[in-house]
Structures are given as structure tokens and as C-alpha cells.
Structure 1
């Protein structure tokens, strides 16, 4: 199957964008009080805090939503391929999800406690049982999953409103460990606190299900196709996503961080649709063509770049590495993000000049053929 260039570019933006959120967690050594729901200092309190707020307003949750939606679009491509080739669905896709679960577990243990791959793996197993059903059934499942998610997030937001000014406990222990602890001590800490750190991965499964299924439906409607119909659909999606998403995301500016969770998990995915349309429009108009090619190369090596960017951020900020984490300026964090982005572009560009697949993608291809069937190897890009 011929690769869809737009999907690779969108995937590249999504990978870089998720780092734009996660790098604050690395920089502040895991202290979520300084990253999300910061009641310690209002966003207008200083230029440093203002820059952080603007950056999170642009990236927080938006590109994670894009990555989630693209997983669903990718699943639909695999579903279509299985149908064309006469294979039973979900078949080998369950094996791919099992590999992703293992990959996410290793990434959680050895690299980062807020890994999203395990959640995607579980979601993939669930959605693979839904995606081959009728459109009506899919829409019903989306309605159920979306309702559960909105009710849950709204309830948590209401509780935060009643406890305005409260902060998360236990952050001092985490920051001290990441400031002076060894890499192995951090590994043990993640294992000992597995349930605590994996709670978010379970909580976002309803949202993941909704976005996976939305991505699959958008693929079916031809939204990603390179024709006039696809361009018209993307334009309408861009207008709707920006019109609804921008005002919803401005709720982040409410003092005390009361709406931060609501914005990250409800407002952000709406604006994701607008971002998707903007990026597609830039590609169609030939804007920043070389830059878009670099993002497309990252998208082809998405899994490798996702893992690598978190490793580089760990080395830069944690005590066992260069140890610059703690309370660096927002400008330094922003420049660090841009520096890692540049390194990822160079890495993916020169790697793909010599090899057709990224290193993790190559391993994935080697192991993604189910032990039960050697005939059903499929495209393994996320």
C-alpha cells in the first residue's frame, strides 16, 4: 500500500508536539504542580510564567489528541488491508497491540512514567473489536465513550473548583529523586509506584476509544485523500475545529489552574481538528516544503523518535545525566525543546537516507508477524 504523505507529516507534528508538553515534566523533574494546574503563580505573574502558559496553550493535549486520532486512522488502513487480502479481522492486529503493550511497559519502566503507548495498546485491542461493525454501531460506541469521558473530566474539574489553590502531594519526593537519584533508583521507583503512574493511562481510555474511532471514520470518508473532496473536507474540519477549539482552550487562562484538566482532555482534542486542517493546508499550498519533509521523516520513524526524544530529555534534565532540571527558565525549556526537535530531524533524515525503516520500526517489523501466522505481515507504522 502506498504511504499517505499527509499522515506521515501529521504524525511527525504529533510526535514533536507531545514533546512540547512532556518536556516541562522533564524540566521540572516530575513536579506536576509546576506544569499543570499551577496555583503557585498566576499566568500573568511573570514573563517566565506567561511564556510557559502560551506554550502549553498551543501544545498541551492538542498533539496527543492528534497522535491518538492518527492511531485510529492507521488501524482503519490495516483493517482495509486485511479485508482486501482476505484475512480475518482483528487477527494479527491483536498481536501488534500486544507488542505495543510490551513496548510501552519497557518505555515506562526504563524511560518515562507518563508513557502513553500502553494505553494505546489496550485501546487498540478494544477498538479492533468495534471497527469492523456498522457505522451506526461505531457512532453509538463513540457516544458512550465520549459521554463517559466528558462526565468524568467534568466531575474532576468540579472537585478542583471546590478545592481551589490545592496542590498535589508527594511531588517533593519525586523531584528529589530525579534531581539526585541514579537511573536505576528511578526505575525501581516507577515499578514501586506502577498503579499511581498508570492511573492516567486507564482514565483516558474512553477518550482514546472516541478518538481512535473518529480517526477511523475520517479515514473512511476520504478526509486524508489527496483529491478535491478530501481537501474540501479538511477545510471544513479546520474551520469547525478552530472556531470551537480556540475559545474552549482559552479556558486555560482561568486563574488557579481550575480548568487545566478540562482543557487538556476535552478542549484540546477539539482544537486538534483545527490543527490537522492547518497542517494539511500548509502541505497543499507548498508552504515550508523542506520543513514539512523533515516532519514527514519523523513521522515515518514515529516510534523511534518518540522513544528517542524522551531519552534525550531525560539525559538533559535528570540528575544522572546533565542535571539541568529543577527550575530552569521557560526560555531555556523552549530552546531545549527546539534543540531536541532539530536533532530528531537530523537523525531521521540521515537514517532514512541509508535505511528504509527506523531502528524501532525495524525491530517491530521483525517481531510483528504473529507466531500463529507468518502470512499476515502488515504496515507497522503507528
Structure 2
């Protein structure tokens, strides 16, 4: 009970919101396996209401919850660091062990469930930031700036290449061929063949997880610095910080992310990997404001439960979505109807809410969280 009382409710609510939003991005990959172009591009969004709806959701969902979840992982690292210092635990050995467990979890998730797993990338980022967090504030700040500059430079170069690539007929033809093969694999072939595909093309399927490492480092440290600045405390200073996050995050983030609707692909990459974190900060301020106003208490309570069981719900949602869409399950993919995809997103969210309530009621947390915590701290307890 002590652990439950010491939890910061806003962080749980945000974590739950991020998990639901992550499903809102990933479900399109399940519905149309292999269609990577659909994740990055909103071409011809004006042609139908379904296209408009898909693009509209992309503006507010695609990449935004990846960024929000990354910031929250950084805050979680800071909380673990404080606990280690408070209890005299060996920080580096303990946290590297914890990240190795997360890396293993992510690897198993990648092999047996979903090739776009984010846990492996978070584990590698955590191993790096675990060393940075021990230094004085100035070095931490410089590390964040340097990683942000490296990431931003890389995104500019990739964006320039992307604009030329999506106009190249040979590239588009090759992407269409690969997309068709992947669609056939997940729609018609066995579970074992899908596992073999993920293992055979391990590095190709892990390219995003590697390329976003510097973005992850930046957002981890940003989360740490926000927490140290008092943004999640219960006082007037914290409210002022969160109000600024909401005003500037939404006020700047929404217009920037709307640029993804500009034809030509100029902002496709930047929207997911540069503009998205700005809007994610706005979401932090927005949900803090909603929580303060005590609006939609039933819904907020459901988000909170999912946040307390975030790791378990993340794995669960991908297992359930695999069963629904893949050929070894209900074989719904490939699914082109945006309305049906959105309906399934809502239904899966309701299922997650029920599962999270069950976990919290009978375990106090998610089963994977319980196991991970036991394995993480047991070797280092005095």
C-alpha cells in the first residue's frame, strides 16, 4: 500500500494515455502489415473523408505517444535513481541489470509478437543515460543539447533523402514489392514463418530502434530535468510549469505537426521525430490541467489503471492485435477501412481498461511489472 500511496497520479495517467496512443499508431501496422509508407506519408488526404480522418489522427497520434512514453521512461529512470541513492543500492550495477531484463523482454516481444517493439531501444537508451545522470546538472544539460543536435542533423539529412526517394519510381516499386510480400506473410503464412521472418531480418526491422537512440537520450534527459525542476510536484510552481507546457506545447506543436499534410513529403520524417516531442509536452500540460479540473473522472481513472500496468498492457495489446489481424488468428489483415481500424482501436482500448482494472485490483500492478520489479531489486537488497 505504501508504494501505491507514493505514486504520482499524473504520471500514471500520462503513462496510460501514452499506451493507448501507442496502440493508435501500431494498429495501422497490424491492419496493413508491410505498409511503412502509410505511417510516414499522408499523401492525398483530401480525396475522401476516410483519408482525411486517417491524416487527422496521424497529426495528433503518430510519433506523439512514442515521444511521450520516452519522456516518461526518463522520469522513471530518475525515480529509480533516487530510490537507489536513498536505499544505498549500487546504482550502475542495479540499473544495468534492470535494463538487461528490459532488453530481454523486448527481444522476446520482437521475436514472438511484434517487429516494431520499442522496449529494446528504451533498454539501450537507459544503459547510456544511467551513466549521464550521475554527473552535475551542467553536464547533463550539455549531454541533452549534444544528443538533440546530432538527432536533428540526422533528421534533416534523412528528410532530404526521403523527399527524393518518394519521387523515385525504382524505390517506390521496390517498396511496393516488399510491402506485398510482408502482407502475404502476415495474412496467409504460419506463426512459425512469421517468427522466422523477424529473426532473419533482425537488423533491417530494428533500424528505427537504432536511429532514434539520440532522440531517446534527449527525451530521457528532458524528462529527468522536468522532474528535477518540480514539474510533477503539487505546488504553484509546478502548475506554472505545466501551464507553460500546455500553452507552448500545443500552441507550437499543433501547427508544426499540421505541416505533415503539406504534399511532397517535406515534413513526413520531421513530423514523427522532431515535431512530435513538442506536442507530447503539450499533452503533459493538457492532462495535468484536466486532472486539476477533475474532468472526466471515470476516464481518467481508467487511464490511471493502464498507467500502473503499462508494460503488461503494452504487451497484451500487441498480442491481442496480432490474434485479430494475422493469418494464424482471425485473419482480418489486410484491412483498408479506416473506420473499422478505428473501431477496433476503441474496442481494444476497452479490453485493456478491463484488464488493467483486474490487474490493479488483484495484484496491485501488472503481472510483468510485478515480475520485473522482483527480478530487478532482489539481487541488490541488503
TM-score band w.r.t. shorter chain:
over 0.9
Secondary structure at the residue paired with 2:132? coil
**Shift of residue 91, structure 1, vs aligned partner:** 2.9
Find 1:65's aligned residue among 64, 67, 75.
Answer: 67
Counterpart-to-counterpart distance in 1, 2:330 and 2:264:
32
CA distance in 1, matches of 2:231, 2:368: 29
Once residues 161 and 322 of structure 2 are traced to their aligned partners in structure 1, the CA distance between those partners, rounded to angstroms, is 33
Structure 2 segments unaligned to the other structure (5+ residues): none
Q: Provide the residue aligned with 2:53 in structure 1.
A: 51
User: Helix, strand or coil for the counterpart of 1:3?
Assistant: coil
Work out the CA distance in 2 between the residues paired with 1:281 and 1:367: 36
Q: CA deviation at 1:164?
A: 3.8
Counterpart position of 1:374? 381
Aligned runs of 1:116-131 on 2, under 5 Å?
A: 116-131=118-133
Mean CA deviation greater in 177-186 or 362-371: 362-371
Residue 144 of structure 2: aligned partner:
142
CA contact (8 A) 1:37 1:256 kept: no
Which residue of structure 2 aligns with residue 224 of structure 1? 232
2:34–2:180 CA contact under 8 A, matched in 1: no
Counterpart CA distance in 2 for 1:369 and 1:163 is 48
How far did residue 256 of structure 1 move? 4.0
State the match for 2:342 in structure 1. Answer: 334
- Judge conservation of contact 1:238–1:275 (CA < 8 Å) in 2: yes
Cα pair 1:92 1:370 within 8 Å, conserved: no
Verify the 8 A CA contact 2:89 2:381 in the aligned structure 1: no
Deviation at 1:254, TM superposition (A): 1.2
> Counterpart of 1:324 in 2: which secondary structure?
coil
1:83, 1:374 → 2: CA distance? 13
1:36 maps to: 40
* Separation in structure 2 between the aligned mates of residue 252 and residue 325 of structure 1, nearest angstrom: 26
Runs of 4+ in 1 over 6 A off after TM superposition: none
Structure 2 residue corresponding to 1:313, chosen from 312, 321, 326: 321
Q: Secondary structure at the match of 2:334?
A: coil
Aligned to 1:272: 280
Report the equivalent of 1:379: none
2:265 alignment partner in structure 1: 257
Separation (CA, whole Å) in 1 of partners of 2:365 and 2:321: 23
Q: Which segments of 5 or more consecutive residues in structure 1 lack a partner in the other structure?
A: 376-382
How far is the alpha carbon of 1:369 from its aligned partner?
Answer: 2.8
Q: Distance in 2 between matches of 1:97 and 1:67?
A: 16
**1:21 counterpart (8, 20, 25):** 25
Using the TM superposition, give the Cα deviation of residue 189 of structure 1 relative to its aligned residue in structure 2, in angstroms: 0.3
Q: 2:162 — aligned with what? A: 160
Cα deviation, 1:265-318, whole Å, max 9, x if unaligned, reads 000011110011001100010000111011000000000000000111111111
Counterpart-to-counterpart distance in 1, 2:266 and 2:335 = 23
Determine if contact 1:57/1:250 at 8 Å carries over to the other structure: yes
Q: TM-score, with normalisation over the residues of structure 2?
A: 0.94
| Alpha-carbon separation, structure 2, partners of 1:282 and 1:181 | 46
- Distance in 1 (CA, whole Å) between partners of 2:359 and 2:308 is 11
CA contact (8 A) 2:253 2:276 kept: yes
- Pair 1:299 & 2:301 matched: no
Aligned to 2:199: 191
